[in-house]
A = this chain, B = another copy of it.
Amino acid sequence: MINFESDYTEGCIPEILDALAKAQKEQNTGYGMDPHCEHAAALIKEFFHAPDSDVHFLVGGTQANMTVIAHGLKPYQGVICAQSGHINCHETGAVEATGHKCLALPSKDGTITADQIEQLILEQKYNESYEHIVQPGMVYISFPTETGTLYTKDELQSIHDVCVKYGVYLFIDGARLGYGLCSRANDVKPEDLPKLCDVFYIGGTKVGALFGEAVVINNKALNKDFRYSIKQHGGMLAKGWLLGIQFETLFSNNRYMKISAHAMAMAEKLIQALKDKHYTFQFEPAANQIFVIMENAQINDLRTAFAFHTNGVIDKDHTAIRLVTSWATPEENIDQLIKAL
Write the residues of chain A forming the contact surface with B, with a CB cutoff of 8 angstroms: 3, 6, 8-12, 14, 17, 20-21, 23-24, 26-31, 59-63, 66-67, 70-71, 74-76, 78, 89-94, 96-102, 128-129, 131-135, 205-206, 210-211, 225, 227-239, 242, 309
Contacts and interface: CB of A to CB of B under 8 A. Distances in A.
A173 to B, nearest CB: 14
Given A128-B309, A238-B60, A11 B26 contact: yes
Contact of A93 (B11, B66, B210, B232): B232
B239 A93 contact: no
A interface secondary structure, majority: loop
A70 B96 CA distance: 12
A228 B90 CA distance: 11
A205 B240 CA distance: 11
A131 B70 CA distance: 16
Contacts of A128: 309
A158 to B, nearest CB: 24
A237 B75 contact: no
A71 B62 CA distance: 18
Contact of A211 (B21, B29, B229, B242): B242
A97 B94 contact: no
30 contacts: A8-B30, A9-B28, A11-B20, A11-B23, A11-B24, A11-B26, A12-B24, A59-B60, A62-B231, A70-B75, A75-B98, A76-B93, A76-B97, A78-B93, A89-B133, A90-B133, A91-B231, A91-B232, A93-B232, A94-B232, A96-B100, A96-B134, A97-B232, A98-B99, A210-B239, A210-B242, A211-B238, A211-B239, A211-B242, A234-B234
A179 to B, nearest CB: 16
Copies of this polypeptide in the complex: 4
Contacts of A131: 92, 225, 227-228, 230-231, 236
A96 B133 CA distance: 12
B238 A90 contact: no
Nearest to A231: B92
Contact of A11 (B231, B236, B239): B239
A248 to B, nearest CB: 15
A225 B102 contact: no
Contacts of A101: 93, 96, 102
Contacts of A30: 6, 8-9
Contacts of A228: 76, 92, 131, 135
Given A71-B75, A92-B231, 19 more contacts: A3-B27, A8-B30, A8-B238, A9-B30, A10-B26, A11-B20, A11-B239, A76-B93, A76-B97, A76-B229, A91-B231, A94-B231, A94-B232, A96-B99, A97-B233, A128-B309, A131-B236, A135-B228, A233-B233
